[in-house]
Amino acid sequence: MKDFLEMRNIVKRFPGVVANNRVNLTIRAGEIHALLGENGAGKSTLMQILYGFHSMDSGEIRMDGKQIRLDSPKDAIALGIGMVHQEFMLVRPFTVVENTVLGMREGRGPLLDLEQASRKLQELSNRHGLALDPAARVGSLPIGVQQRVEILKLLYRDASLLILDEPTAVLTPQEKDQLFAILRKLKQDGRSVVIVTHKLKEIMECADRVTVMRDGQVVATREVRETSEHELTRLMVGRDVNLRAIKPERKPGAAVLQVKDLRVEDESGREKVCGLSLEVHAGEILGVAGVDGNGQSELAEALLHLRRIEGGQVIVNGADVTSRSVAEHRAGGISYVPADRRRVGSVPEMSVADNAILGQQRKYVRGLFRDLDEARKSAEKLTARFGIRGSGIDQGAGKLSGGNLQKLILGREILRGSAVLVVEQPTRGLDVGAVESVWQELIRARQEGKAILLISAELDELLNLADRIAVMFEGRIMGIVDAVAASVEVIGLMMAGIRPAGAANTGATMKEAPSGETV
């Protein structure tokens, strides 16, 4: 296979940090090339340079041996380079076809554009096996389908190099398989794919080669069939990582969080949580398993009063908090790490320091003034303990790498000192080293006696951390199993809405778990 694209000696500095430090990367025609590295290693930056989104300070980029200039994404697109960003950039109220032609000029009038584009889209989606309705509104589509729109948009522009920044982070296992099938087809077409991912298994499964970055530099490029997950981990973090969490014996206390017959609707008035009941005890991690979109986010949002409760009760430490205001509620001892960290958990325009005390500003008031010293000290402590890497606490939080922003919010919420911690997808987008430290922090919080509701789409995470696992399907709990006795198969079945034989069929208030444990 020949080298199709070559990045040589790429240097990119941001204030206070060298994001790319003399990086070399070659991409062959017809290969899937994985880019791996710790949070903040410079992966997204490098790809954004290749997409003309960032300018480089020095270095050169060659395509088919000829030097190219990429001053803007327009240049990249014209050369057949396309990118799906870590956070999708689709316009939610627009339809699939409108999103596809956005920023493109074709034909004469705008109406003609859309009809022609629809036909071309339909043809492309048939050819590549990407099922899509061109007239659907993007905002109403599941994440996996939105991603397909992004990919189709690139194919529409006839991209020969597709860059996907953490494309699987938000996908269900089935959606992930579909994505990989699409990528393999693209490769057979002679197109090249760069996939940024933290998931070693995925690299082993779908990539041909892998380049590992660390601290802005490339540490190694390997043929995937000549490496292992173990070697890749060592290359990336410089040590072995233990992804087997060790949980000390559990001494669960009283029920701190009680949810009774909870009903919650989505924006369009559809019931997403349908009479759900559960209890989380002090010193316990209750895992909530389920395919994204089965009401988990709505459950969390309702618990935090970010979404209206239509029916039922939420009780914290024996007090009914169902109709409290958000502020009272938060002050009353419930912390939240949302799945959507850029939109819900942080204020990107504010500094890391300010985000570190978000929601607790009052704690740092002395007389009429904010105690800046104290606030800064605690922000420093937080960044040190959670290994948040960036250019310092005065940096805008929005400029942190994806994974580091995540660690910031998680750290803030854990340190808040609430009795109840609701965490949603806590390790999504984190590198393996960071996953390990987040797991340790959650176990520590459990040892401190917090009641933790852990919502995760990663079964591995639940099996490692949770004491009990509740499986959610279409707004209901299909069953609750003891994590020690749980089998992946049984949980998988329940996630798909199938109640395993032997489990009692009592609908939403099912009492008998497959392991025989009584809830």
Ligand X SMILES: Nc1ncnc2c1ncn2[C@@H]1O[C@H](COP(=O)(O)OP(=O)(O)OP(=O)(O)O)[C@@H](O)[C@H]1O
Q: Quick check: 197 binds Mg ion (CB under 5 A)?
A: no
Looking only at residues 371 through 400 of this chain, which bind ligand X when binding is defined by CB under 6 A?
389-390, 399-400
Indicate the burial class of 47 (C-beta count within 10 angstroms; 0-12, 13-18, 19 or more): buried
276 or 405: whose CB is closer to Mg ion? Answer: 405
Q: How far is the CB of 262 from ligand X (least distance, A)?
A: 34
Q: Quick check: 402 binds Mg ion (CB under 5 A)?
A: yes
Identify the residue among 10, 33, 34, 45 touching ligand X (CB under 6 A): 45
The residue count for binding ligand X (CB under 6 A) is 19
Q: Quick check: 20 binds Mg ion (CB under 5 A)?
A: no
Identify the residue among 7, 25, 40, 232 touching ligand X (CB under 6 A): 40
Distance CA 183, CA 162 (A): 9
Helices 372-385 and 402-415 cross at an angle (nearest 10°) of 120
| Joined tokens for residue 125 | 């989606």
Q: How far is the CB of 76 from Mg ion (least distance, A)?
A: 18
Helix (H, G, I), strand (E, B) or coil at 322: coil
40 binds, among ligand X, Mg ion, none (CB under 5 to 8 A by kind): ligand X
Q: How far is the CB of 37 from ligand X (least distance, A)?
A: 5
Sheet of strand 58-63: strand arrangement? 17-28, 3-14, 58-63, 66-68
Helix (H, G, I), strand (E, B) or coil at 214: strand
Distance CA 510, CA 41 (A): 46
| Joined tokens for residue 177 | 């398989």
Binding window for Mg ion (CB under 5 A); candidates: 57-65, 204-212, 377-385, 402-410: 402-410
19 or 162: whose CB is closer to ligand X? Answer: 19
14 binds, among ligand X, Mg ion, none (CB under 5 to 8 A by kind): ligand X
Binding window for Mg ion (CB under 5 A); candidates: 174-182, 260-268, 289-297, 394-402: 394-402
Q: Quick check: 429 binds Mg ion (CB under 5 A)?
A: no
CB count in 10 Å sphere of residue 462:
26
Q: Quick check: 39 binds Mg ion (CB under 5 A)?
A: no
Instruction: Return the DSSP state at 57.
Output: S
378 binds, among ligand X, Mg ion, none (CB under 5 to 8 A by kind): none
Binding window for ligand X (CB under 6 A); candidates: 34-42, 58-66, 464-472, 489-497: 34-42
CA angle 167, 168, 174 (to 5 degrees): 130
Binding window for ligand X (CB under 6 A); candidates: 40-48, 116-124, 147-155, 226-234: 40-48
Q: Quick check: 402 binds ligand X (CB under 6 A)?
A: yes
- 159: which residues sit within 8 A by CB, 6+ positions away? 77, 80, 81, 82, 191
Count how many Cα atoms sit within 13 Å of the Cα of residue 277 in the half-sphere of its side chain: 9
191 or 389: whose CB is closer to ligand X? Answer: 389
Distance CA 229, CA 159 (A): 30
Q: Quick check: 192 binds ligand X (CB under 6 A)?
A: no
Identify the residue among 25, 31, 44, 241 touching Mg ion (CB under 5 A): 44
Identify the residue among 7, 41, 170, 481 touching ligand X (CB under 6 A): 41
Max CA-CA distance within the chain? 70
CA angle 51, 55, 409 (to 5 degrees): 80
Identify the residue among 33, 39, 114, 170 touching ligand X (CB under 6 A): 39
402 or 426: whose CB is closer to Mg ion? Answer: 402
171 or 262: whose CB is closer to ligand X? Answer: 171
Binding window for Mg ion (CB under 5 A); candidates: 42-50, 101-109, 200-208, 230-238: 42-50
Helices 402-415 and 432-447 cross at an angle (nearest 10°) of 10
48 or 296: whose CB is closer to Mg ion? Answer: 48
218 or 334: whose CB is closer to ligand X? Answer: 218
Q: Quick check: 19 binds ligand X (CB under 6 A)?
A: yes
- 300: which residues sit within 8 A by CB, 6+ positions away? 336, 338, 422, 424, 453, 455
Q: How far is the CB of 57 from ligand X (least distance, A)?
A: 13
CB count in 10 Å sphere of residue 282:
20
- Smallest CA-to-CA distance from 84 within 171, 188, 203 is with 171
229 or 261: whose CB is closer to ligand X? Answer: 229
Q: How far apart are the first and last CA of the chain?
A: 58
403 binds, among Mg ion, ligand X, none (CB under 5 to 8 A by kind): ligand X
Q: How far is the CB of 47 from Mg ion (least distance, A)?
A: 8
CA angle 121, 123, 124 (to 5 degrees): 65
Which residue has 């009760």 as its token pair? 313
| Joined tokens for residue 21 | 């430090």
164 or 477: whose CB is closer to Mg ion? Answer: 164
State phi, psi for 39 to the nearest 5 degrees: -60, 125
Helix (H, G, I), strand (E, B) or coil at 451: strand
Q: How far is the CB of 143 from ligand X (least distance, A)?
A: 18
Helix (H) or strand (E) holding 10, with range, is strand 3-14
41 binds, among Mg ion, ligand X, none (CB under 5 to 8 A by kind): ligand X
Residue numbers at the binding site for Mg ion (CB under 5 A): 44, 402
Residue numbers at the binding site for ligand X (CB under 6 A): 14, 17, 19, 37, 39-45, 389-390, 399-404
